Amino acid sequence: MRLVIVGNGVAGITTARGVVERDPSAEVVVYSAEPFPYYPRPRLIDLLAGQVTPEQMPFYPESWYQERKIQTFLGQRVTKVLPAEHRLLLGDGSSVIYDQLVLATGARAWVPPIPGCTLGGVYTLRTLHDALALREGIRRSRHAVVLGGGLLGLDTAGALRANGIGVTVVELLPRLLPRQLDEEGAGLLQRLIEARGIEVITGDSCAAIEGADHVQAVRLRSDRVIATDMVVISAGVRPNVDLAQEAGLACGRGIVVDARLRTSDPDIYAVGDAAEFNGVVWGIIPAALAQAQVAAAQITGDSQATYQDIVPSTTLKVTGIDVTSVGEAIAKGDGLVEVRHVDPAAGVYHKLALRDGRVVGAIVIGDRSKVRLVNQLIAQKSDVSAHVEAWRRHGLDLSALQVAANREMRAR
């Protein structure tokens, strides 16, 4: 069986690893338009912050691929998929045959049509090439404006600040991390970020990037003008579906797949940031890993393996601050009950969202030690109704709940 994988991000390489582990006789070939071996995208932030070097970016040494007989062709773009012929056309004019194909084509940074977005000094951050260019730009800059207060935007702001330059974050919506945090949690996070020397502007957006050949200022819709010599646009991503669309595969926002991760062609799978399941494109690493594992099982003959949507979970350090958002953390109504613990002086915020006494969502800021407990409560659909009245009177106490959970585990 000859498996060809297009894309060598986390989804593509995890699929390749899963296939050769299950079937060492499989011929696995990976094509990537990027000239770099697989690297975890979160490490781009570490590279910007000076915590790793470009040489430390690859996740696996070359010997890892050789030992598993995974063939990789880097800097080789796939230009066309011909499903009827089970054949791919490559950028150098050659073609390759496949028995089964995995599209792990990922996503690209989206740049809104902002006047001045093509000026020198305007960057996005999605690939190692982007990070290397941005790192060079930092050396010539004194101030940066980050457009977007989402996960990547805030992490980028922190990395820029670690280089000693001034940073301003501009977020269109009224709060930071609007998909992960409620108003109270976002307010605390903003104060913590500002205490680290990063200016945060919410409820405003960029009207134009100004300058002759290079950025000189950002003009906001509020008419405020921010003098700057660098702009990083962090406005989200768009799945790379061009290959799939041109091949006639069903596509929505992403490449539509079923529970087996198959596309509308039974010999073609899609995984990761390019895949759409049940109308959703998650664009997060846990989903990419789960999809890759199912695809690998299916490709090697395990027809019982199916994909189920994950509980959305984000745990990261935002400019050095631990932030976790799990499940229905910001949902409203539908019988939801919320309980909280807030300690602004310590930079700590805990929140549980309950339905019928069971934990369905949580936010934890500034206290990583409680993340494992929160994930267990949600995964096990734990009934904590016996604690709710006390929490309403005295505030959420995850430490006491941790003790009770440990006692219960020992009793088992």
**Is 113 inside any structural domain?**
no
35 domain-assigned: yes
Q: Verify that 350 and 402 share a domain, yes or no.
A: yes
Where does a domain end: 275, 299, 323?
299
146 by Cβ neighbours in 10 Å (0-12 / 13-18 / 19+) ranks as buried
Q: Which amino acid, residue 333?
A: G
End residue of a domain, out of 212, 233, 254:
233
Tens-digit pLDDT profile for residues 105-158: 999 999 999 999 999 999 999 999 999 999 999 999 999 999 999 989 999 999
* Domain endpoint, select from 299, 321, 351: 299
Could you tell me if 226 and 204 lie in one domain? yes
Give yes or no: residues 97 and 25 share one domain.
yes
Write the single-letter amino acid at 57: M
CA-wise closest residue to 135 among 197, 43, 208? 43
Query: Are 242 and 229 in the same domain?
Result: no
Closest CA to 131 of 39, 209, 221, 196: 39
pLDDT of residue 409: 52
Does one domain contain both 177 and 159?
Answer: yes
Q: Are 184 and 349 in contact (CB under 8 A)?
A: yes
Q: Calculate the average pLDDT of the chain.
A: 93
pLDDT of residue 410: 55
| Judgement on whether residues 141 and 96 belong to the same structural domain of the protein | no
Question: Does 97 share its domain with 130?
Answer: no
CATH code of the domain in which 152 resides: 3.50.50.60
* pLDDT in the model for residue 335: 82
pLDDT tier, 408 (very low <50, low <70, confident <90, very high otherwise): low
d(CA 182, CA 184): 6
Q: What is the pLDDT of residues 257-295, one digit of tens each?
A: 999 999 999 999 999 999 999 999 988 898 999 999 999
Mean pLDDT, residues 180-191 taken together: 94
Could you list the residue range(s) of the whole structural domain that residue 229 is in?
Answer: 122-233
Residues 206 and 287 in one domain: no
Examine the domain organization and report whether 92 and 131 are in the same domain: no
Average pLDDT score over residue span 208-224: 98
- Compute CA distances 260 → 5, 20, 188, 209, whole Å: 16, 18, 41, 45
Which of these, 6, 19, 12, lies nearest to 81 by C-alpha position? 6
User: pLDDT tier at 217 (50, 70, 90 boundaries)?
Assistant: very high
- Strands (DSSP E) contained in 302-390 are 313-318, 321-327, 336-343, 348-355, 358-365
At residue 79, the pLDDT reads 98
